[in-house]
Amino acid sequence: MKSKKVAIIGASGYSGEVLVQLLLNHPHAELVAVTSRQNAGQTLAQVFPKFASHPKSKSLRFSDPKAELLSKQADVVFLALPHGVAAEYAVPLLNAGCVVIDLSADFRLKSPEIYKDFYAHDHPAPDLLKRAVYGLPEIYRDEIKKSLLIASPGCYPTSILLPVIPLLKAGLVKPAGIIADSLSGVSGAGRKAEVDYLFCECNESVRPYGVPKHRHLSEIEEQLSFAAGAKVTIQFTPHLIPVNRGILTTLYLAPEKPTDAEKISACYKKAYDGEPFVRLLEGKALPDTKNVVGTNVCEIAWRLDPRTGRLIVMSAEDNLVKGASGQAVQSMNILCGWPETAGLV
Amino acid sequence: MKSKKVAIIGASGYSGEVLVQLLLNHPHAELVAVTSRQNAGQTLAQVFPKFASHPKSKSLRFSDPKAELLSKQADVVFLALPHGVAAEYAVPLLNAGCVVIDLSADFRLKSPEIYKDFYAHDHPAPDLLKRAVYGLPEIYRDEIKKSLLIASPGCYPTSILLPVIPLLKAGLVKPAGIIADSLSGVSGAGRKAEVDYLFCECNESVRPYGVPKHRHLSEIEEQLSFAAGAKVTIQFTPHLIPVNRGILTTLYLAPEKPTDAEKISACYKKAYDGEPFVRLLEGKALPDTKNVVGTNVCEIAWRLDPRTGRLIVMSAEDNLVKGASGQAVQSMNILCGWPETAGLV
Amino acid sequence: MKSKKVAIIGASGYSGEVLVQLLLNHPHAELVAVTSRQNAGQTLAQVFPKFASHPKSKSLRFSDPKAELLSKQADVVFLALPHGVAAEYAVPLLNAGCVVIDLSADFRLKSPEIYKDFYAHDHPAPDLLKRAVYGLPEIYRDEIKKSLLIASPGCYPTSILLPVIPLLKAGLVKPAGIIADSLSGVSGAGRKAEVDYLFCECNESVRPYGVPKHRHLSEIEEQLSFAAGAKVTIQFTPHLIPVNRGILTTLYLAPEKPTDAEKISACYKKAYDGEPFVRLLEGKALPDTKNVVGTNVCEIAWRLDPRTGRLIVMSAEDNLVKGASGQAVQSMNILCGWPETAGLV
Amino acid sequence: MKSKKVAIIGASGYSGEVLVQLLLNHPHAELVAVTSRQNAGQTLAQVFPKFASHPKSKSLRFSDPKAELLSKQADVVFLALPHGVAAEYAVPLLNAGCVVIDLSADFRLKSPEIYKDFYAHDHPAPDLLKRAVYGLPEIYRDEIKKSLLIASPGCYPTSILLPVIPLLKAGLVKPAGIIADSLSGVSGAGRKAEVDYLFCECNESVRPYGVPKHRHLSEIEEQLSFAAGAKVTIQFTPHLIPVNRGILTTLYLAPEKPTDAEKISACYKKAYDGEPFVRLLEGKALPDTKNVVGTNVCEIAWRLDPRTGRLIVMSAEDNLVKGASGQAVQSMNILCGWPETAGLV
């Protein structure tokens, strides 16, 4: 299988670090460049002691991010940058013929209007929104194969879309009134020097935030609307919990018929039975982040409540793997024609 | 102020331990007896090294729980026993003239039928259900003053009832479709030697459990039904999170009018402005368990979501204090005519 | 008992926060001013939501720290400032007749030379070093009574000095070759926005730091030298562990005679039996930070190892209470003639 | 490369679980049997939901441990059993021609007398002690190649022996007076339903235990004595800290000459420069468990203290990988003639 050269722009944050780990050990991708303004000049081993045993860790040095140079070094470029910055790099890289896999929110929406509503400024490259494919492989596998610009989904959106899209597509739940209550580990906030994310501020603490209008709502609702064939507005409450990694989402849905247990079961089996990274739990098992952390797997379980007529769906994923870097690698594998599970567990 | 002698039956669990702490330092109550089958014969200092600096810790010894003896020693007896066991002790203690404050679920329901539905056996002392007062002081203060049997509320129920009852009583939210999504620290599971609650099974883990029919639903729904004047059925999903203490509940409610912000604000102020142990958060503040752990305070904040028309109410409490032992002491203070905040912060 | 007015300069850090908590609830001290450059203008309730239920939390506002003004408002001023800054405030406050209790390292040493060796610059107010009393009440109680300037000990030093000083004074251990291996919770690093102390950098991590010459060595060795009557140089290795609060120190000492168990026992009993805040553990008990966190207690246990002839002494304390703010309040109580345990548990 | 069939006896504990993970993903070993009395009959997926995505997880079922049967199924058998039980299985397996890799302490000592001193009973199979090789590959690689019975080292011993043995062999440190102060994550206590290891008993807690005579001392001292060519007695203090995995050991050693920095550096480089699983830290870096957890790497750093003349050596490892299952797989790789790093990171 033909290998490719890959680069990571913005490799010093938490999702950048996981990308480095996955790409250092990938059977077909060769990591040739990592960038970071603040760590420029340092080796991988210096910035991430945990990779110091890897043979490349002492030769590979962080550089300043320069699109022109990177486009000559790499076939595939991952952008692990803050929202708003990614677009600056995507344009020249695409023009130079690179595949771009963006982990930021910059290209996740189709609608520039929704972008403006949630991000409070015009989209910097609205033309690219049409070219970008939303990198959720279980839903857009065929489109990913043919795209050169992948907008890899957010962590919360992944934990919500995977459980809900099949039900909406099958018409088994009502598009109105969906509630997503999510719990995220602290790495979701990024490696930022802010008092709010200090150990003593997060440990022995649980708190909601961004209530009621979190930015991730824009991509969640756009994707759910596509699935439902109608505009979907949901309730979404994120909470910060004292774990490093992991998202647990509990969804409250209204089934079209509260007695449709068999149809729901069949719908999920049809959607995910062959999927390597979606695990439908059976029997009494319920999702637990500790069973997915470090893997690219999203666990899903559901219960129909005969007392309320509601459908409760629960999902668990690693926010930095299936919710970010693992999923981005999964898209790369598809796009490059490699086995979808290459370099992933 | 006249002091009283108090005893704790079942003082070796987590809520028993907090009760010991509160009563050792109470200005009017004198802790005269603590019982525990497994620790009988040992001093307080031996079982709980953290209390070893208290003068009583070396003289006060755990004894076997014997109602007859305790009724002679104490005026007020707290029962911190597993559900189903408390009733056995309550009857002889009440007959002997003691005040009984029960932290178990045994006397929290008014309806023996609901008890049987959730606990799968007949109630052992249905007559006492009528005599018991549900020990939620903010709602039943007057009844607590006159009662000799207090059924102190559960931890999850307290975090749900305090935010919802005023809204239901004022007719500001619809009684149908209420959802309570709760996150609890591990002490809620008790000091039991079970693999599921080992450090390594809970740390770096988040998981739902007891979905969809948790036993606490029975008392939550009965109390909400009283407030609404109609039968209320809710959705309740508890989750286990890796903190020692604390419950965070996020409630999803349907306001009668989505524009009633001022009425909701006024309703909460009227209900709780003078309350020492309910803190209405203002401005951008949202509840955080770290701000209430170790105190008897329940924090409440709310947001009306103009996008969905829903009312989101969030509460935080210490499951072992306001959710258990602190609230029980608060009831004792009321019942004994002491300042309601005596011995509590 | 006559009450006093107290102020805290630098009240927004972790030890400042604990000072606020202790002083808000102190029976004889009245907290009249709190300062913080970054929070100036905000109320206590806004900066610390956990104190919002205290009646003073909405009237007491953070101000800019101005010594002149504070000296008119307060009888006792606590300095919870970074090292090097405290001296600037101490001089005018002392001149204005205030009692100053300094939680920084600025006045802990007697020798300006040692100060320069460890802090790399001349001491800003060497004359005050003579006036200052090292605020370790169990050792300097009489001096504290008569002093106007208290240099409250550091967290690591307290955990080392309390177990070692009595043994050195009694000549039961050799002054040479002492090793102190200490484990500290993350609050010891202060409420600073630094990547190293983010939740994800500390959680699931254990690491030594500052090896082999930590600044706290200067005051530890000076105090041990006073006790031994000869220069003492020790080995000290601090480690960062993922708890909010607590220090556990394990000391390796060479007893003069490895068979002196009874003398060691008698020595500790003589030193600490009446002390409210030192707890000598008996039997098989060993120190555990969870038994002292939130209290002003230092736990001590020891073992003579017949295999090696060494004496192992272990201590546990809350770094923010006995290791900082609680101990400072204890000194205030002594100095003001109040019961030493007032406002402390 | 010829693959082998492997079995795990006692696969439901923490080190058993890591063994399962490593062997499921090993390129040359095929996991054919897992045993567990309490889980007999259940599939891997049922007992360990985290492995449920592996193709073998639904076909491989836990069985009762029967040596005769297993010896027919497997070429290599790992024993992840409590101390004392392993010997019962080792004898029949060896007789049937299996390779046995034992993770318990049963065969780690050469001296049956030392065994009796520390374990308080006669060794059940003293003849096997001679045949067993102590499975520390960096020290006994050649012996491992030729052995059929590997006694895989304990977690604490590995973290102490790797840093100390080269120094003792080179005569750079004195064999007398060695102190090892170790901090271990809670998984070291095993998956046992005991109150002491509940989340709430370990979280926000740090405590020493087993002071001063921990059983691991026997194998540590025997191995150090071999290296020194003389009897070595050390001081060892283990502490329990609230992380799932990881051991951090701080060693206090007396260098023969306190100015031997270059010799120490050269000694470590000679010993470990080509070793895939020992990482010598350079510059200011110090070991941190978070950089080794999940890997088979042991990090080592050292400092000579000019003030005390002592040598401080610090090591970090994952107690379940390099300290247990990873090291056992490393031995298997050597013994089977596979690349030593096969299936390990």
- The number of C-beta contacts closer than 8 angstroms across A and D is 36
* Cβ-contact A204, B289 below 8 angstroms: yes
Instruction: Write down the pLDDT at residue A83.
Output: 85
CB contact under 8 A, A207 and B246: no
Which tokens hold the place of C66? 């101005």
Q: What is the mean pLDDT of chain C?
A: 96
Q: Greatest CA separation found in chain C? A: 62
Angle subtended at Cα B136 by Cα B252 and Cα B296, rounded to the nearest 5 degrees: 85
Residue of C nearest to B204 (CA): C204
Sheet holding D235-240, edge to edge: D207-208, D235-240, D179-184, D247-253, D311-317, D298-304, D278-280
- A212 prior amide bond cis, ω within 30: yes
Q: Is A340 on the interface with D (CB under 8 A)?
A: no
Q: Reduced to 3 states, what is the DSSP secondary structure of residue D201?
A: helix
> Residue B291: which of C50, C285, C292 has the nearest Cβ?
C50
Tokens 């300037």 belong to C149
Using 50 as the pLDDT threshold, list the residues of chain D that sit under it. Answer: none
CB contact under 8 A, C314 and D246: no
Instruction: Write down the pLDDT at residue C146.
Output: 96
Instruction: Write down the pLDDT at residue C258.
Output: 80
Instruction: Write down the pLDDT at residue B213.
Output: 87
DSSP-assigned letter for residue B209: -
Q: Is A24 on the interface with D (CB under 8 A)?
A: no
> Residue A204: which of D52, D204, D276 has the nearest Cβ?
D204
CA-wise closest residue to A220 among A142, A163, A295 = A163
Instruction: Write down the pLDDT at residue A9.
Output: 97
> Residue B50: which of C25, C276, C291 has the nearest Cβ?
C291
Handedness of CA B195, B197, B198, B204 (dihedral sign): positive
DSSP-assigned letter for residue D138: H
Q: Is C214 on the interface with D (CB under 8 A)?
A: no
> How near does any CA of chain D get to the CA of C218, in Å?
12
Q: Which amino acid is at D61?
A: R
* Cβ-contact C171, C256 below 8 angstroms: yes
- The number of C-beta contacts closer than 8 angstroms across C and D is 138
CB contact under 8 A, C183 and D307: no
CB contact under 8 A, B290 and C25: no
Q: For residues C131 and C108, what is the distance between their CA atoms, to the nearest angstrom?
A: 11
User: SS3 sequence, B213-251?
Assistant: CCCHHHHHHHHHHHHHCCCCCCEEEEEECCCCCCEEEEE
Tell me the mean pLDDT per 10 residues along chain B, length 345. 94 97 97 96 95 93 93 96 90 96 96 92 92 98 97 98 98 97 97 97 97 93 98 98 98 92 97 97 95 98 96 98 98 98 95
Per CB-CB distance under 8 Å, the chain B contacts of A241 are 183, 206, 241-242
Q: For residues C243 and C202, what is the distance between their CA atoms, to the nearest angstrom?
A: 9
How many C-beta neighbours within 10 Å does residue B230 have?
A: 11
Q: For residues C234 and C72, what is the distance between their CA atoms, to the nearest angstrom?
A: 43
Instruction: Write down the pLDDT at residue D302.
Output: 98
Q: Is A206 on the interface with B (CB under 8 A)?
A: yes
Q: Is B138 on the interface with C (CB under 8 A)?
A: no
* Cβ-contact C156, C238 below 8 angstroms: yes
pLDDT in tens, C51-74: 998 999 999 999 999 988 999 999
Which tokens hold the place of D57? 């997880």
Q: For residues D107 and D79, what is the distance between their CA atoms, to the nearest angstrom?
A: 11
HSE-CB at C90 with a 13 A cutoff on CA atoms is 28
Q: Reduced to 3 states, what is the DSSP secondary structure of residue A279?
A: strand
CB contact under 8 A, D239 and C250: yes
- In a mutational test of the C interface, the residue from B43, B53, B205 whose CB has the highest number of chain C CBs within 10 Å is B53
DSSP string, A140-185: HHHHHHH-SEEEPPPHHHHHHHHHHHHHHHTT-B-STT-EEEEEE-
DSSP string, A39-98: TTT-BHHHH-GGGTTSGGGGT-BEE---HHHHHHH-SEEEE---TTTHHHHHHHHHHTT-
CA-wise closest residue to D275 among D78, D81, D136 = D136
Active site residue A155: yes
Q: For residues A155 and D301, what is the distance between their CA atoms, to the nearest angstrom?
A: 37
Q: Is B270 on the interface with D (CB under 8 A)?
A: no
> Residue C243: which of D206, D208, D286 has the nearest Cβ?
D206
Q: Reduced to 3 states, what is the DSSP secondary structure of residue A102?
A: strand
Q: For residues B11 and B33, what is the distance between their CA atoms, to the nearest angstrom?
A: 9
Sheet holding C62-63, edge to edge: C62-63, C29-35, C4-9, C76-79, C99-102, C149-151, C133-134
Whether pLDDT at A1 is above 80? no
Task: Using CB atoms, list chains with 3+ pairs below 8 Å to chain A.
Answer: B, C, D
Q: In sequence order, which residues have a C-beta less than 8 Å from that of residue B72 and are 6 or more positions away?
A: B96
Which tokens hold the place of A211? 């209530």
CB contact under 8 A, B191 and D204: no
Residue of C nearest to B200 (CA): C204
DSSP-assigned letter for residue B154: P
Confidence band of A260 (pLDDT split at 50, 70, 90): confident
Confidence band of A142 (pLDDT split at 50, 70, 90): very high
Q: Is C187 on the interface with A (CB under 8 A)?
A: yes
HSE-CB at A271 with a 13 A cutoff on CA atoms is 24
Whether pLDDT at A303 is above 80? yes
- Give the CA distances from residue B44 to residues A144, B48, B53, C316, in Å, rounded to whole numbers and listed in that order: 66, 6, 10, 20
- Give the CA distances from residue C166 to residues A141, C172, C224, C266, C275, in Å, rounded to whole numbers and listed in that order: 72, 9, 10, 10, 13
CB contact under 8 A, C316 and D206: yes
Per CB-CB distance under 8 Å, the chain A contacts of C50 are none
Q: Is A294 on the interface with D (CB under 8 A)?
A: yes
How many C-beta neighbours within 10 Å does residue D149 have?
A: 21
> Residue B308: which of A207, A233, A310 has the nearest Cβ?
A233
Per CB-CB distance under 8 Å, the chain D contacts of B200 are 14, 185-187, 191, 197, 244
> How near does any CA of chain D get to the CA of C171, in Å?
21
Task: Using CB atoms, list chains with 3+ pairs below 8 Å to chain C.
Answer: A, B, D
Instruction: Write down the pLDDT at residue C196.
Output: 97
* Cβ-contact C305, D179 below 8 angstroms: no
CB contact under 8 A, D186 and B198: yes
Tokens 């809204």 belong to B167
Confidence band of C213 (pLDDT split at 50, 70, 90): confident
Tokens 């999923």 belong to A327
> Residue B49: which of C49, C277, C291 has the nearest Cβ?
C291
Which tokens hold the place of C147? 């002093």
CA-wise closest residue to C105 among C83, C81, C78 = C83
Confidence band of A2 (pLDDT split at 50, 70, 90): confident
Per CB-CB distance under 8 Å, the chain A contacts of D276 are 53
Which tokens hold the place of C192? 């600073």
As to burial, measured by CB atoms within 10 angstroms (0-12 exposed, 13-18 middle, 19+ buried), residue A259 is: exposed
DSSP-assigned letter for residue D141: H
Angle between helical axes of C326-336 and C137-146 (0-180°, round to 10): 40
Q: In sequence order, which residues have a C-beta less than 8 Å from that of residue A265 and are 6 or more positions away?
A: none
CB contact under 8 A, B299 and C49: yes
> Residue D195: which of B193, B195, B201 has the nearest Cβ?
B193
CB contact under 8 A, B183 and A242: no
* Cβ-contact C153, C161 below 8 angstroms: yes
How many C-beta neighbours within 10 Å does residue A142 have?
A: 11
HSE-CB at D196 with a 13 A cutoff on CA atoms is 14
> How near does any CA of chain A get to the CA of C117, in Å?
30
Residue numbers of D annotated as active site = 155
CA-wise closest residue to D216 among D118, D81, D126, D150 = D118
Instruction: Write down the pLDDT at residue A95.
Output: 95
* Cβ-contact A254, A297 below 8 angstroms: no
Angle between helical axes of C155-169 and C137-146 (0-180°, round to 10): 100
Query: Percentage of chain C surpassing pLDDT 90?
Result: 93
Q: Is D206 on the interface with A (CB under 8 A)?
A: no
Q: Which amino acid is at A139?
A: I
As to burial, measured by CB atoms within 10 angstroms (0-12 exposed, 13-18 middle, 19+ buried), residue A130 is: exposed
Residue of A nearest to C242 (CA): A199
Q: For residues C19 and C13, what is the distance between their CA atoms, to the nearest angstrom?
A: 10
User: SS3 sequence, chain C?
Assistant: CCCEEEEEECCCCHHHHHHHHHHHCCCCEEEEEEECCCCCCCEHHHHCHHHCCCHHHHCCEEECCCHHHHHHHCCEEEECCCCCCHHHHHHHHHHCCCEEEECCCCCCCCCHHHHHHHHCCCCCCHHHHHHCEECCHHHHHHHHHHCCEEECCCHHHHHHHHHHHHHHHCCCECCCCCEEEEEECHHHHCCCCCHHHEHHHHCCCCEECCCCCCCHHHHHHHHHHHHHCCCCCCEEEEEECCCCCCEEEEEEECECCCCCHHHHHHHHHHHHCCCCCEEECCCCCCCCHHHCCCCCCEEEEEEECCCCCCEEEEEEECCCHHHHHHHHHHHHHHHHCCCCCCCCC
> How near does any CA of chain B get to the CA of A93, in Å?
38
* Cβ-contact B133, B150 below 8 angstroms: yes
> How near does any CA of chain C get to the CA of A114, in Å?
33
Per CB-CB distance under 8 Å, the chain D contacts of C312 are 211-212, 235, 237
pLDDT in tens, B200-243: 999 999 999 999 988 999 999 999 999 999 999 999 999 999 99
Q: In sequence order, which residues have a C-beta less than 8 Å from that of residue B226 and are 6 or more positions away?
A: none
Q: For residues B151 and B156, what is the distance between their CA atoms, to the nearest angstrom?
A: 15
Per CB-CB distance under 8 Å, the chain A contacts of B244 are 204
> How near does any CA of chain C get to the CA of B104, in Å?
26
Per CB-CB distance under 8 Å, the chain A contacts of B205 are 243, 246, 288-290
Whether pLDDT at C93 is above 80? yes
Q: For residues A181 and B238, what is the distance between their CA atoms, to the nearest angstrom?
A: 12
Instruction: Write down the pLDDT at residue D271.
Output: 98
